[in-house]
Chain A
């Protein structure tokens, strides 16, 4: 037993060994308690830090043993880490504690806390990966928030800037010698965020800088990243080139040349990698969407045309490839770009041409599959090709062929929700030329064995109701149902019948709002509100939208 005359250092050593042995004996709670005591009663000293290391190791064991609910451990780790950081701010132990807490906060999606912990300690190897993880997580959160909001709202923009901040910190020191798959992921995410934030030249520098640019590094050291990661980097490079073209940073020739180079790189990597073609298929689909979005956000007609021309030229060339994935990408990009161009009357002519070219490539693909079964890989992609063809046909105004094609797909399996939605969309679009098709869009059609193969918006809503994974589709179906009914009503000559039908459209919205006041998020709610105001106006009521409807 310790007495006042005994050596204090020996007492510390004895207690320290107790902590260490408890840890070795897997008595982590006990080891943590003793280590915590020693660390707190020896602040700022080397031996206190040794005790802190044992405490941290105990926490590590406890976290590993805790299963899913780690809250009882983290509630202890949190104050200890704060003490550690405040007492030994420069130590690797403090960095490890901050990193551990940041990691747990990231898992819990508690961004504020993660930021707080990472702000506590200076940058180190220990925390660099957590800064990257936080940046990537915020990037994913940003994408989701943007999708839900339907646009870059202020809140979405703030999320973007936070993600940029952490990814810039995480990649600040990255250079040709330190690129690996995870840092490349970070650079890819950061580049896309910078494009969204209109910092195009910063994004370009990240990729194309002669000394430390990612693409330059990949060219010089192709083995630095997994092929899949490198492919993602080339996808980003195409996005950056497109953005530079729109911003005027490079001219069309350079942009086309760069994009063609990167497409070739993508094909090269896909061929050299097991399963690469499948990855390429996914990347191309994402790229088609990226380019369509870029076009959609470009409002200046001259810039839109410049971008559309460049992309259509690049994919036109790619369409001559022998690769299924590349041909399919060319076709789907043409169709997506055409769709976007068609949304503005000035782009209609260009759109028609692109739709036709897309449809031609898709028809060729299906013909080749017919003559060379198995050419389309994976086989399931054949359905996607047929859907894309219908989409292109619809864009060209050939709704009949489009619906027929989709109907044939649904004959084989009418549970394909995406196809049902596509069919209903085309029927709604067809309604503008042939009003009875609005009814089909609502009620479905292609009757076989006593039921409709094509469901229509009504049944799509029924089938997706109360299914959390399909809530987006549910709210959209309810919206499209009301819209199609309203458009149909407007074509009815009899005033009384027309009013009755418009009231039904009104009820489609108000009954949905009564049951689900959130209406699938702000973006969708705005759409419901706007449509309801039009309907109310048509009915001779004050156009108060959902506000008045909610009071009813």
Chain B
């Protein structure tokens, strides 16, 4: 056996990670660290690798796995990262925390289940309230969970989706207290969204301007800054500068990465709102239609687009398409604020 192991080392191989009985930290970039996690906090992870501590800020971590965790958790976690929430939930539901001794693993199972519930709830098919309850219970059990900021963001999004922006603000505010610049920036952006939902364009504008002025240029930060730019355009529109807002949004279309569904769904909906303010219903319709046809993977933005399409298609002489938009809005996003908006 020993000679076989030596042979493997000599040829540059190492044992597959699945066979190792160790904790692991997978950073967003760079090599995976395997060893024993010694600290697991909202702001970061410390892992002892061959007796030497390695520190990772939570913003830089893609995922954390634990020694002895069931395969189903590993699969479910990966599916969440890939955005396959239904499959992940199915996988995670098969796991029973009852026989598991490591509380970190139990917490992970509960977190990912609630997270999937939340994502599916936002997408219209899951139970938002169940997700909220699960995530709050988890936070109460462990206020220092390394999932704290993801959990807060999800709680904020869920509260916003059920029409409770003031509650959403509490959770997003928590994110702004994070040490990591990205989490802080995400929190600020989300607070801006809440303020927009509350009709407070002036306050939202201040937050978006703050984000735009941020110096950091990491890919994640660039994305948040881009979202903030869209937010600023929405504020401009709310403040009556619709044409200026539209010009900015059109410039973004040519500048931004067109593979970013979330970004473009927001741009199109923002353009639709501008055109509506400019009393150009036809152009507004086409902007929302672009969201419907190309960016339907963004549930909130898609529901918003369907709501407006339902109202705009009749102005184009297409009542049947209005009925189709209404039917899809109700069937896919039954619990969303858009489906219940008059």
Contact = CB atoms under 8 A, between A and B. Distances in A.
B283 A41 contact: no
Interface string B268-311: 00000000000010110010011001100100000000000000
Given A1-B297, A2-B261, A72-B316, A37 B283 contact: no
Interface string A350-377: 0000000000000000000000000000
Interface string B7-29: 00000000000000000000000
B82 interface: yes
A109 interface: no
A111 interface: no
Interface stretch (A27-35, A132-140, A183-191, A475-483): A27-35
Interface string B314-340: 001000000000000000000000000
Given A1-B297, A34-B294, A41-B254, A29 B286 contact: yes
B96 interface: no
A36 B293 CA distance: 12
A42 B259 CA distance: 11
Contact of B254 (A4, A11, A43): A43
A146 interface: no
A226 to B, nearest CB: 41
Given A1-B83, A75-B283, A76-B283, A37 B290 contact: yes
A81 to B, nearest CB: 15
Question: Secondary structure of the A side of the interface?
Answer: helix
B83 A3 contact: yes
B149 to A, nearest CB: 21
Contact of A33 (B82, B83, B280, B293): B293
A219 B264 CA distance: 64
Nearest to A19: B293
Interface in A4-62: 4, 6, 8, 11, 15, 18, 22, 29-30, 32-34, 36-37, 40-43
B137 interface: no
Contact of A41 (B82, B258, B282): B258
A25 B286 CA distance: 18
Contacts of B316: 29, 72
A41 B297 contact: no
A32 B253 CA distance: 16
Contact of A40 (B253, B261, B283, B289): B253
Contacts of B283: 75-76
Interface residues of A, number: 24
Contacts of B264: 37
A436 B152 CA distance: 105
Nearest to B315: A72
Contacts of B294: 15, 34, 37
A8 B254 CA distance: 16
Contacts of A30: 289, 293
B290 A33 contact: yes
Contact of A29 (B261, B280, B289): B289
A29 B258 CA distance: 21
B226 to A, nearest CB: 14
Interface residues of B, number: 18
Contacts of A11: 259
A37 B250 CA distance: 11
Contact of A34 (B253, B280, B290, B297): B290
Nearest to A75: B282
Contacts of A43: 254
A27 B143 CA distance: 53
B83 A41 contact: no
B286 A2 contact: no
Contact of B259 (A8, A36, A37): A8
A148 B288 CA distance: 49
A42 B255 CA distance: 10
A2 B259 contact: yes
Contacts of B82: 3
B81 to A, nearest CB: 10
Nearest to B81: A3
Contacts of A34: 290, 293-294
Contacts of B258: 37, 41-42
Contacts of B261: 2
A40 B282 contact: no
Contacts of A32: 286
A13 to B, nearest CB: 13
A15 B261 CA distance: 13
Contacts of A8: 259
Nearest to A1: B297
A29 B315 CA distance: 14
Interface in B46-95: 82-83
For B254, B289, B293, the residue with the greatest tally of chain A CB atoms inside 10 Å of its CB is B293
A41 B294 CA distance: 13
Interface in B80-117: 82-83
Contact of A76 (B259, B286, B290): B286
Contacts of A29: 286, 289, 316
A533 to B, nearest CB: 50
Contacts of B253: 37, 40-41
A325 to B, nearest CB: 52
Interface string A457-472: 0000000000000000
Contacts of A41: 253-254, 258
A42 B258 CA distance: 9
Contacts of A22: 293
B220 to A, nearest CB: 11
A115 B82 CA distance: 53
Contacts of A2: 259, 261
A2 B259 CA distance: 8
Contacts of A33: 286, 289-290, 293
Interface string A291-324: 0000000000000000000000000000000000
A388 B342 CA distance: 75
A41 B253 CA distance: 6
A72 B282 contact: yes
A64 B18 CA distance: 62
A46 B173 CA distance: 46
B178 to A, nearest CB: 23
Contacts of A6: 259
A413 B249 CA distance: 70
A6 B280 CA distance: 37
For B259, B282, B286, B290, the residue with the greatest tally of chain A CB atoms inside 10 Å of its CB is B259
A424 B253 CA distance: 71
A189 to B, nearest CB: 37
Contacts of A40: 253-254
Nearest to B84: A1
Contacts of A42: 258
Contacts of B297: 1
Nearest to A30: B293
Nearest to B289: A33
Contacts of B280: 75
Contacts of A36: 286, 290
Nearest to B321: A29
Nearest to A29: B289
A29 B312 CA distance: 14
Nearest to A69: B317
A6 B264 CA distance: 18
A1 B82 CA distance: 10
Given A3-B82, A18-B293, 7 more contacts: A3-B83, A30-B293, A33-B289, A33-B293, A34-B293, A41-B258, A72-B282
Interface of B: 82-83, 253-254, 258-259, 261, 264, 280, 282-283, 286, 289-290, 293-294, 297, 316
22 contacts: A1-B297, A2-B259, A11-B259, A15-B294, A18-B293, A29-B286, A29-B289, A30-B289, A30-B293, A32-B286, A33-B286, A34-B290, A36-B290, A37-B253, A37-B294, A40-B253, A40-B254, A41-B253, A43-B254, A72-B282, A75-B280, A76-B282
10 shortest A-B CB distances, which residue pairs?
A41-B258, A33-B289, A33-B290, A72-B282, A40-B253, A33-B286, A37-B290, A43-B254, A11-B259, A34-B293
